[in-house]
Every structure is written in C-alpha cells, then in structure tokens.
Amino acid sequence: MFNQVTLVGRTGSDIEVRTTNAGKRIGNFSIATEERSGGNTYTEWHRVAVYNEGLIKLMERHVGKGSQILITGQIRNNEWEKDGVKQRSYEIAMSGNAELKFLDTKKPANAPDTEAEPGSEG
C-alpha cells in the first residue's frame, strides 16, 4: 500500500512551531491549492504538520505567508470525540521522506536579514 500526496500551492501563514513535552518540535501551516474548471476557480485549503526537524528549519528561514511551494507527504486522518460526537480531520504529514521545493521565496518577517555563512549550521 502507498500513501503519498503532492501539493503545489501558496502558504496561508508562516510555519507555527510548538515543542512537545518530549522536546520534539512540530510545525504547522496551511497551503492553498487551486483548481480551474468551466471558467471557475476553486480554492482548497490543506492543513500540514511537519515532523522533520530539517524541513522545519528550512521553512522558518525561507518560507513565509504567500510563498509558493511544492510539498510531498502522507494523508493522515485524526479522530476524536467532543461532547459525545465523533470528529474527524485530515492533514498532510511531512516526516522523514517528505519533500519541500521552493517555487518562490517570501522570507518570513521574523527571519534574519542576512544569510548564514556558507558551511555554517545557521
């Protein structure tokens, strides 16, 4: 079985990073994709969770709201119960084998003005 999705779109926000109790960083952002059909344009928003520390660091430095990117990941289904009603949401999970390509760059407002020196760990 194979679960992989590829999306090309624009980010709806800078990546938001939180740290778990175990010290692992997880990044979240949204990406909008568009489909044109019969003269109409349909926009679909996708929630993305980034579990790969290297990708989180790249996104913090080089991706901001409105950046056009290509991502690959896996579709994950999250289920929970709230007030006795089952809830469900889907997200794109970017983990170890996920891919990120910059199709343009909009540096986040909180990113440093200068790039790291070549060979530095930034």
Q: What is the domain extent for residue 48?
A: 5-102
pLDDT, tens only, 92-110: 999 988 999 999 865 655 5
pLDDT, tens only, 23-62: 999 999 999 999 999 999 999 999 999 999 999 999 999 9
Q: Are 105 and 62 in contact (CB under 8 A)?
A: yes
Inside any domain, residue 115: no
Please report which confidence band the pLDDT of residue 116 belongs to, taking 50, 70 and 90 as the band edges. very low
How many domains does one find in the chain? 1
Cα distance between residue 95 and residue 3, in whole Å: 13
Inside any domain, residue 38: yes
Inside any domain, residue 48: yes
Inside any domain, residue 75: yes
Could you tell me which residues are beta bridge partners of residue 5?
73
Cα distance between residue 91 and residue 107, in whole Å: 24
Residue 9 sits in a domain whose CATH number is: 2.40.50.140
Inside any domain, residue 107: no
DSSP summary character for residue 117: P
